Amino acid sequence: MARGAYSEQEITITNCDREPIHIIGKAQEHGVIMICDMDTLSVSQCSENVENILGFNHESILGEPLKQVLPKKVAKSFKRKLKNNESLLPEKFKVGDQKFICIPSISQELLILDIEPSGKSLDPVRFQEQLTKILTELNDAESVNDMCQQAALLVKHLFDYDRIMIYKFDEDWNGEVVAEVKEPDLDSWLGLHYPATDIPKPARDIFMKQGVRIISDVNYKASPIIPEISPITGQPSDISSSELRAVSPIHIEYLQNMNVAASLTAAIILNGELWGLVACHNATPKFINYHQRQSCLFLTQVFSNKLALKTTNLFLDKTSASNEIRKKLVLQMTSIHNIVDALCKFEPAFTDIVDCGGGAIVKGGELCTYGDTPAISEIVQLCNNFLVNKGTYFSSKSLSNVYPEASKFKDKASGILSTRFGDEKEDYIIWFRPEAKETVSWGGNPTKQGYIKDGVEYLTPRKSFERWAEKVSGIAKPWEEYDYEAVSKLRESIIHILVKKQKDEIYSLNDRLVDANKELEAFSYSVSHDLRAPLRGIDGYARILKDHYMDRLDDYSKKAVNTIVRSAGEMDTMIDDILSYSKVGQTQLSKQLLSIKQIAANAIEAQNAENNYPNTSIKLDENLPKAVGDRRMISQLINNLISNALKYSSKEEYPAVEISFFREKEQNVYFIKDNGVGFDPKHQEKIFELFSRVASKDYMGSGIGLSIAKKVVDKHNGQLWVETEPGKGSTFFFILPDLEE
Ligand code: ADP
C-alpha cells in the first residue's frame, strides 16, 4: 500500500495485520522528522512542519549540509560519533528562546532525527527519590496484580494522565486490563478484555522495538515527509525508530472513538516477549518530553524485571510444591509393586501434582481414574481416536476445539494435559480441568469489528466500548509453565522407576537361574554318584553270569547278558561325564601357566591313539604356546576335543587330526582340526548344549563332552567355536585370555 493512502482506502481486517505502519511517512504535529545521508550528513528528507517549528522553508533545506540547518556543534557531534562508531546520543540546542532536543537513530543507513521541544530535564535528586520509591513499592507488592496496581499508581503520580491502565496479553493476544488508576469521573475499565485485533501485530512489533510511544494530540494534523521517496534509497524510508512518527489512522480513529485526546504507551517485556502495556489516556492533548519518556521507559524496565522475578518465584514455589508431592509418589511407586495403584490409590495421588479436577492413567490396557473425569468409555475413545496421534505431551485449554466429541464432557474436561510413558505406545497419564464457568467482560462486542462487503471483511475501529459480557464455554483455566514442569518431571520419575523395576526383575530372575543351575549341578552330581553303586551291582552280577554261567544259557539269554554288560559300561561313561560336567560348575579355578602342548600330548596318549586309531595321522604343533588356566579343566577341554576329532574321523580312509594355533588380535587361537564326518553348520551352537548329539548312531557318545568343553572355556572367560562341513571335517577353535589380572 502506498504511503498516505489510508485516508482514501478502507482497511480490511486481512490487511490490517500487514499495515506498513513503519513507513507511514508523516510526523506528528509537535516535532520535526529530518532524515540525513549518513555519509555526507546532508538533509535528504524532512517533514513539512519544519517551517512552523524551526522556521525553515522545507524546500530550502533539502540537500543542505546538516550543519547549515542545526547548530554546528550538534552536527559536528553526530559526525564525530558516526565516524568513531560511537553510540549517538540526543543533543540539545536553542532556536531563539526555544529549547529543542534532537533525538538521533539509524535506519537503513539513514540518520533519522526527531526534533521536538526539549521541556524541562529531570532533577537528578528527585529522580533518585522516585527510583527508590518505585523499587520499594514494587518490592512490597504481594502478587503480580498488586505490582501492576502499584506501577499504575506511580505512572499516574509521575505523568498525571486521566487514566492509567496495565494491559496484559493472553496467549491469543487478547488483552485484559489488570490494573487501573483513573480520574473519578471516568468509568472503570478494570477487568475488561479487548480483542487481539485492537492491537495488531505490526503495532506490537513496534512496541517491542520502541518501548515508549506518545500521541500528544490525537486530533493532530500529520505533517508529510518530503519528498515521499528517499533520494538515497529510492524507497519510502523506514522510520519505525522515530518516536515522532505519525500513527496509523485506524489507531487514531480507535482512540477518538474512546474519547481519548492524548496517549502514552509503554511496552512491558518479559523474558524477551511482549507481556503487556502501560497504557495512559488523557481527555485533552498532552505532551510528555523526552526526559519524562526516558524515565517512563526506565520505570517499565524496572517493572519488567520485578515481574520476571515474581513469575520466576511463582514458578519456583509451584515447582517446589509439586516436587514434594512427586517425591511422595516416587516413594509409593517404589514400595508398591503396581505403579498404577501407587499413583491412584494412596495419598497423595498423581492428580495432586497439578491443579486439576481429576485424571486417568492408562497402562497395559487397564484404566484407572481419579477425581472428576469423563466416563471410562469416553476416555478410552479419547485415547484411541485422538491422543494416539499426538506426541509425548499434549495439552489444550479447550479440548472440544480440537476434538469436538469433548463438548459432551466439557464440564469435566475442557482442559487436558497428557503424557505418554512406559514401553507401550498406549500408556498415558491424563489430567483434566473443568470448564472455567467464567464470564468475560469485553470492552465492546469483540466480534463486531467490521462489516463484510463483496466477500471482504472491512475493519472499522470499534465505536462502542460499553461493557459487553460473554459467557465463556468449553474453556478451562490455561496450563502454566509450572504445570508442564511438574508433569514432565513426574513422567521422568515414572520411567526411571519402571526401568529400575525391570532391571531388578531381570537381576532377580538371573539370581534365581544361577541358584537353580547350581542346585541342578549338585543334584546331578549326587544322582550320578548314587547311581554308581547299583550300577556296579548290575555290572558285577552280569559279568559273573558272563564268565561262569554262559554255557548254561540259551542264545537269547546270552545276548541279553552281553547287552547288560555293554549298557552298564555305557552308563558308567555317562555317569563319569555327568560328574565332570557338574564338577566344572562347582569348582573354583586354580590358575597356573600351562603347557598346552604337553596337555595335548597327554590327551593323545590317554586315548591310546596308537592302538585305538592306528590309521590316524596326528600332527601336534611343536610350538603350541603356553596358556594360563586350571590344569584339570583345560586337560578336560583338550581331551574332549581331541577324542571327538579322533572318534569322528576314525571311519575315513586317511584320517588326519591336527592340533595347532595361530595369532589373531594379539591372542593365541588354538585349534583341533579333523577331516572326519563334520556336520551341518546350522548345529554350530546347539552341539555345545547338554545331551545334544548330531552324529549318527555309528558313533557312540553321551552328548556331554562339548558342554563340558564350553563350560570350561566360559569359566575361563574364553571363547570356543567350530567351523565344519558335512563330510569334510571340523575344526574346533578356542581362546583362553590371560587370566592373570
Ligand atoms: P558326544 O559324546 O556325542 O561326542 P559331544 O558333546 O562331545 O558328545 O559332542 C556333541 C555332538 O557334536 C556330537 O554328538 C557330534 O554330533 C558333534 N561333534 C563333536 N565333535 C565333532 C567332530 N570333531 N566332528 C563331527 N562332529 C562332532
CA atoms within 13 Å, Cβ hemisphere of 47: 30
Query: Ligand 1 within 6 A of 702 CB?
Result: yes
pLDDT given at position 503: 85
Query: Ligand 1 within 6 A of 674 CB?
Result: yes
pLDDT tier at 462, thresholds 50, 70, 90: low
Query: Ligand 1 within 6 A of 646 CB?
Result: no
CA–centroid distance, residue 572 to ligand 1 (Å):
19
Query: Ligand 1 within 6 A of 705 CB?
Result: yes
pLDDT given at position 65: 93
Region 87-100 average pLDDT? 90
Cell of 377: 468409555
Query: Ligand 1 within 6 A of 739 CB?
Result: no
pLDDT given at position 460: 57
Cell of 400: 472440544
Calculate what percentage of the chain has a pLDDT beyond 90. 44
Among 5-9, 175-179, 444-448, 596-600, which stretch is predicted with the lowest mean pLDDT?
5-9
pLDDT given at position 321: 95
pLDDT tier at 629, thresholds 50, 70, 90: very high
DSSP string, 423-491: SSTT-EEEEEE-----EEEEES-TT-SEEEETTEEEE------SEEEEE--S--PPPPHHHHHHHHHHH
- CATH topology for the 336-438+467-479 domain: Beta-Lactamase (3.30.450)
pLDDT tier at 466, thresholds 50, 70, 90: low
CA–centroid distance, residue 303 to ligand 1 (Å):
86
| Secondary-structure percent of the chain, ordered helix, strand, coil, rounded to 5 | 45, 25, 35
Residue 729 CA: nearest ligand 1 atom is 24
Cell of 220: 493532530
CA–centroid distance, residue 641 to ligand 1 (Å):
9
Query: Ligand 1 within 6 A of 695 CB?
Result: yes
CA distance 722 to 713: 13
Query: Ligand 1 within 6 A of 649 CB?
Result: no
Residue of the nearest CA to atom 12 in ligand 1?
687
pLDDT given at position 719: 96
Region 544-563 average pLDDT? 89
Query: Ligand 1 within 6 A of 687 CB?
Result: yes
Confidence check: pLDDT of 241 > 90: no
pLDDT digits (tens, 9 = 90+) for 299-355: 888 888 888 888 888 889 999 999 999 999 999 998 888 888 999 989 999 999 999
Confidence check: pLDDT of 109 > 80: yes
Closest listed residue to residue 577, CA positions, set 711, 730, 450, 379: 711
Could you tell me if 340 and 359 are in contact, meaning their C-beta atoms sit under 8 angstroms apart? no
CA distance 12 to 332: 59
Residue of the nearest CA to atom 20 in ligand 1?
644
Q: Which CATH class is domain 489-586?
A: mainly alpha
pLDDT digits (tens, 9 = 90+) for 693-713: 898 888 888 888 999 999 999
CA–centroid distance, residue 687 to ligand 1 (Å):
7
pLDDT tier at 274, thresholds 50, 70, 90: very high
pLDDT digits (tens, 9 = 90+) for 119-139: 877 677 877 787 787 778 777
Query: Ligand 1 within 6 A of 704 CB?
Result: yes
Residue of the nearest CA to atom 26 in ligand 1?
678
Q: Specify the DSSP element, H or E, that contains 223.
A: strand 223-226
pLDDT tier at 599, thresholds 50, 70, 90: very high
Confidence check: pLDDT of 533 > 80: no
pLDDT given at position 445: 65
Residue 701 CA: nearest ligand 1 atom is 2
pLDDT digits (tens, 9 = 90+) for 422-450: 766 678 999 999 998 766 777 766 665 55
CA distance 339 to 494: 8
Confidence check: pLDDT of 676 > 70: yes
Among 206-215, 287-296, 538-547, 728-737, which stretch is predicted with the lowest mean pLDDT?
206-215
CA–centroid distance, residue 576 to ligand 1 (Å):
17
* Strand ranges (E), 513-636: 591-594, 617-620, 627-630
Region 59-74 average pLDDT? 91
Q: Which residue would you say has higher pLDDT here, 178 or 194?
A: 178
Confidence check: pLDDT of 356 > 60: yes
Residue of the nearest CA to atom 4 in ligand 1?
701
CA distance 614 to 598: 21
Query: To 10 degrees, the CA torsion angle through 552, 558, 562, 567?
Result: -110
Residue of the nearest CA to atom 25 in ligand 1?
678
Residue 648 CA: nearest ligand 1 atom is 24
pLDDT digits (tens, 9 = 90+) for 488-531: 999 999 989 888 888 888 888 888 888 777 777 777 777 777 77
Domain spans, the chain: 336-438+467-479, 489-586, 587-735
Q: Specify the DSSP element, H or E, that contains 559.
A: helix 555-586
Calculate what percentage of the chain has a pLDDT beyond 70. 91
Query: Ligand 1 within 6 A of 694 CB?
Result: yes
pLDDT given at position 1: 28
Cell of 591: 590358575
CA–centroid distance, residue 693 to ligand 1 (Å):
6
pLDDT tier at 468, thresholds 50, 70, 90: low
Confidence check: pLDDT of 582 > 60: yes
Q: How far is CA 245 from CA 3, 96, 555, in A?
A: 13, 26, 128
Mutational test site, ligand 1, from 693, 702, 720, 734, max ligand atoms within 8 Å of CB: 693
pLDDT digits (tens, 9 = 90+) for 367-393: 999 999 999 999 999 999 999 888 889
Q: Which residue would you say has higher pLDDT here, 195 or 549?
A: 549
pLDDT given at position 537: 85
Mutational test site, ligand 1, from 572, 687, 728, max ligand atoms within 8 Å of CB: 687
pLDDT given at position 741: 41
CA–centroid distance, residue 707 to ligand 1 (Å):
10
Sign of CA dihedral 305, 310, 313, 318: negative
CA distance 244 to 242: 5
- CATH topology for the 587-735 domain: Heat Shock Protein 90 (3.30.565)
Among 295-304, 559-568, 584-593, which stretch is predicted with the lowest mean pLDDT?
584-593
Residue 732 CA: nearest ligand 1 atom is 23
Residue 276, SS3 per DSSP:
strand
Closest listed residue to residue 386, CA positions, set 413, 406, 357: 406
pLDDT given at position 712: 93
Which residues have CB under 8 Å from 511's CB, separation 6+? Answer: none
Query: Ligand 1 within 6 A of 350 CB?
Result: no
Residue whose grid cell is 512542519 = 49
Confidence check: pLDDT of 82 > 80: yes
Query: Ligand 1 within 6 A of 706 CB?
Result: yes
What does pLDDT average to over the chain? Answer: 86
